[in-house]
Amino acid sequence: MKDSATPTCTPRQFSATCPSRELFDQIADKWSMMVLTVLDGGPQRFNTIRRSLEGVSQKSLSQTLRRLERNGLVTRRVLATAPVAVEYEMSALGRTLLPPFRTLYRWTRDNIPAVEAARAAFDAGHDPR
């Protein structure tokens, strides 16, 4: 028997139960990717990250950080100060993700004119309303 143990799993076939796909689902969301991009600048405290991601709620950020920590991409350290401070930092595993994330961030920064031109062309050809 080898059916349920080996779901099809290639860059062309994202089976729902494929471990690669499940991992993809865990990090391919905007808050996770923005948190990791922010932490590329060094360890950050909770509220500092919160202020860096305009529009994120405390709850969403908390959930995102916890998931990133659980998956080993981020480490959490409680500083024995008063009041308590908590620092989040990229783990060694997380740092292996930085190259593609840096590239992606630069891409969004550098291709705004190209994308806006594409949108204008699209909107011109497709009835608005």
Partner DNA sequence: CCGTATCCTAAAGGATACTG
Partner DNA sequence: CAGTATCCTTTAGGATACGG
| Binding-site ranges for a second copy (CB under 8 A) | 9, 11-16, 19-21, 23-25, 27-30, 33-34, 37-38, 40-41, 52-55, 69-72, 93, 96-97, 99-105, 107-109, 111-112, 114-115, 117-119, 121-123
Residue 29 engages DNA in binding (rule: CB under 7 A): yes
Give which of 50, 81, 82, 48 is closest to 63, Cα–Cα: 50
83 binds, among DNA, a second copy, none (CB under 5 to 8 A by kind): DNA
DSSP letter at 28 equals -
The angle, 0 to 180 degrees and rounded to 10, between the axes of the packed helices 30-39 and 98-110 is 100
Q: Could you tell me which residues are beta bridge partners of residue 107?
A: none
Subset of 30-89 contacting DNA (CB under 7 A):
31, 45-48, 55-60, 62-63, 65-66, 76, 83-86, 88
Round to whole Å and give the CA distance between 88 and 59: 16
Q: Which is nearer to a second copy, 82 or 109 (CB)?
A: 109
